[in-house]
Amino acid sequence: RENFIHLCNPHLEKMKEDILYHFALGTGTHDFPALFGDVKFVCVGGSPSRMKSFIAYIAEELGLASPGGDYPNICAGTDRYAMYKVGPVLSVSHGMGIPSISIMLHELIKLLHHAKCSNITIIRIGTSGGIGLEPGSVVITRQSVDATFKPQFEQVILGKTVIRSTNLDEQLARELMQCSKEINQFNTVIGNTMCTLDFYEGQGRLDGAICLYNEEEKLQYLKEAYDSGVRNIEMESSVFAAMCNVSGVKGAVVCVTLLNRLEGDQISSSHDVLVEYQQRPQKLVGYFIKKSLGKV
């Protein structure tokens, strides 16, 4: 059954042209079905360079690598986001934090709709701080929770508070977990992910420019998070889950933990170790895509 992108905006039907400003793309200047109509998997992550390395990796895995390994940035007309494509896979950067990924997702979901894409799976791959996990562990998000451990995304729209669900697709999470078992290269768990509004105070760090609490209070908070089911902390999953739900898109969040926050705040692993950690979500999602396409 074809499952098309659902746009919750009747105003778009009245527009002669839709300009995706932050992508430097538009329905009046680009043939979206021709450019993107075959997309089935969209992988998003914070860093443009990481998403370029992912598309090169998935191209090799799918046997679609181009001569010289050159993958042009589809959004070269802007410096806000980067976008790369190979076969049925689209790789897009989203920057850091809820506002940045929210803007990207609005335009990405419209792009997929204009391209008449169906049966889309969107997966955020990234890094996070772990709670009670060894560094390098991968967390597949069951649901995103806010800083009070509630599974919701709260936004003020026209002066009124709107609350949306942040549950993610359970079946997709189970499939990703099964893929990790088949790879059997690193520790992977399914757990809740806490999404915060910043990197320092919002995550209970002691090393920011401002900190008006002590280490005991910090550890008590993180242990409460762990007891509520939280296994990692990042800054994008809540709005990602909420927008996937409203748009009827299967979504997943797969993040590697760079440290155990119960043991410290600063990321002190060597560059080479961090690079290897960051490749783990790519390996898991790459294997999932290959398996979904019958190439495993």
Going along the chain from its start, the domains and CATH numbers come out as: 12-293 (3.40.50.1580)
The span from the CA of 84 to the CA of 82, in Å, is 7
Query: Model pTM?
Result: 0.97
Between 68 and 89, name the one with better pLDDT.
89
H/E segment holding residue 292: helix 271-292
Residue 59 is predicted with a pLDDT of: 97
pLDDT band at 1 (very low <50, low <70, confident <90, very high): confident
Backbone conformation region of residue 229, classed left if phi is above 0, alpha if psi is from -120 to 50, else beta: left
The span from the CA of 242 to the CA of 5, in Å, is 14
Asked whether residue 231 is marked as a ligand-binding residue, the answer is no
Residues with Cβ within 8 Å of residue 277, at least 6 apart in sequence: 127, 135, 136, 256, 257, 258, 269
pLDDT digits (tens, 9 = 90+) for 255-272: 999 999 999 999 999 999
| Residue found by looking up tokens 């290897």 in the block | 276
Asked whether residue 127 is marked as a ligand-binding residue, the answer is yes
Q: What is the DSSP letter of 135?
A: T
Query: Strand locations in 235-278, DSSP E?
Result: 250-260
Residue 60 is predicted with a pLDDT of: 96
Asked whether residue 80 is marked as a ligand-binding residue, the answer is yes
Residue 69 is predicted with a pLDDT of: 79
Q: What angle, 0 to 180 degrees and rounded to 10, lies between the N-to-C axes of helices 271-292 and 170-183? A: 110
Asked whether residue 205 is marked as a ligand-binding residue, the answer is yes
Mean pLDDT of 224-249: 97
Tell whether the model's pLDDT for residue 285 goes beyond 90. yes
Asked whether residue 286 is marked as a ligand-binding residue, the answer is no
The span from the CA of 153 to the CA of 143, in Å, is 11
Cβ atoms of 238 and 163 within 8 Å: the answer is no
> Which tokens in the block code for residue 145?
């929770």
